[in-house]
Amino acid sequence: MKQLPSAAFAACLLAASPALAQSPIVDAPAGRLEGSAEGTLRLFKGIPYTQPPVGAKRWQAPAPLPAWPGVRKATSFGPACVQPRPKIAGIYTNPPERMSEDCLTLNVWAPRNAGKLPVFVWIHGGALVSGYSHEGMYDGARMAARGMIVVSINYRLGILGYLAHPGLSAESPEGISGNYGLLDQIAALRWVKDNIGAFGGDAANVTVAGESAGGLSVMYLMASPRARGLFQRAIAQSAYMISAPDLKTARNGTPSAEAAGTLAMTALGAADLAGLRAMDAEKLTSDAAGKGYGPWGTVDGKILPRQLAETWDRGEQAPVPILAGFNSGEIRSLRVLLPPAPADAAAYETAIRARYGDLADAFLRLYPSNAIGESMLATTRDALYGWTSTRLALGQTAIGQRGYLYLFDHGYPATDDNGLHAFHASEIPYVFGTAGRTPALWPKVPDTPAERRMSDAMMGYWSSFAKTGTPAANGQPTWQPYGKEGHYMAFAQAPRPGTKLFPGMFALHEAAVCRRRAAGDQPWNWNTGIASPVLKKTEGCR
């Protein structure tokens, strides 16, 4: 048989298999896009969803991007949004290869020949300071293979994403500033609504999901009137319902967002906004973080009408089903959030009684003095993540929606041998099926049948929730809505349903937050336990 030259052989192969001859192209309202084929999936990378926020557009709301002419290549991930470069390596360290102020892009994983599939939009974590949409753990291929469209997004971070300032408010037609990163997320969701049908997605069946600062962002989206109707379900992993600065007024023990922005401008040595806009984006971001600038959502009466806790109290959050939960070892990898430990059990008890007063007995039952180290880890975990997750499940239940609560309590040798059992974010590679794509210093997940079963179960529950609003997985226990019985699902060595997670935990922290809110001069975040302000008994609070 005569052998064909390699080029001729390739031409014959492509002629016989037309699918191999061309990359996938979609014709979306935003413009035509050329992606890449990966097995049974189509992947479109680095799609811009708004105009670049550069030059005079730095610290402006995202502006619509006109449709581009011709076919735009979407075969390379866009750069990450500007963020400080890590100075010390840790388990989360995984810096992006490229950063740019021109970073507002998203990525789409879609099954071939998709039609009216549910859409899963992922918002990365990183304290609103770091992170990016295409980090390896967030690869959407395995989730998309379960019959969904998966979208991951970038949004502005740090001072570039959340600066409020009187001058910026004066520039705004609405008289407000800050929340630019949140507005980016809303713009991305609008892009999804307008364009995802071209990829085979159902714009009326969108789940917004995120972990840590991504979970905080999910709550901001649920609270923002501007995001209403852009998603039909929500997933909040390790979210934290902390107090946020008010735009113009000092409240809850923190300066106004505009005052904080004014102080940041002075600390950065800029005379005015023009000076700030002229600064190199990377230097500006790094210097601001080094001088203590912290990005948060701003309560401005419009994008965020009020504190998250008040929004949920009033039942004004988005009326959608939610899946929310936290990890048993959240603080084991976030010990920076812990105050210094007291000298002994007596000092611990004295501090708690001085701060918690009539709540001290309930506190010490939950977080006893005979195990100070574990009690402090559990206190901060519950005050930030446990209370928030339970409040989310309760809040949706109260407005007639389903709330599903979980506890991730899963460990493996590399975590347990290093005191990191079920650490913050350790559920992510199980949710995405990306155990082989974790950062370099992440405790390596063993490739065993047991670990694969856990990941398969979690992917099943999460993808089912995104499709139908009910989490279910083949061969796994039924996950009941929180309801009156306080149902939850624990992910330990295997999924295990239960009721009334950590009895007394939510009531204690709800009472503490209620008293802080009533006092009006105290934030509610990680200043808990022995670091808490004095909690005075207040009418209307337990």
Closest to 465 in 3D by CA, of 453, 487, 481, 483: 481
3-class DSSP assignment, residue 210: strand
**Which of 212, 217, 256, 333 is an active site residue?**
212
In the three-class reduction of DSSP (H, G, I as helix; E, B as strand; rest coil), residue 45 is classed as strand
Task: For residue 48, list its beta bridge partners.
Answer: 105
212 is catalytic: yes
Residues with Cβ within 8 Å of 256's Cβ and at least 6 positions away in sequence, in order, are 164, 245, 246, 247, 248, 249, 250
φ/ψ (deg, to 5) at 149: -95, 125
Residue written as tokens 């071939």? Answer: 112
| Residues 474 and 458: beta-carbon distance below 8 Å | no
The active-site residue out of 124, 424, 487, 509 is: 424
Known catalytic membership, residue 424: yes
Q: What is the DSSP letter of 39?
A: T
Q: Which of 101, 258, 330, 427 is catalytic?
A: 330
Other CB atoms within a 10 A radius of the CB of residue 421 amount to: 18
Q: Check if 426 is active-site.
A: no
Q: What residues does 108 pair with on adjacent strands?
A: 44, 151
Give CA angle at 513 (507, 516), nearest 5°: 145
Rounded to whole angstroms, how far apart are CA atoms 45 and 64? 19
What whole-number distance in Å separates Cα of residue 519 and Cα of residue 527?
15
Quick one: the chain helix, strand, coil %, rounded to 5?
Answer: 40, 15, 45
Residues with catalytic annotation? Answer: 212, 330, 424
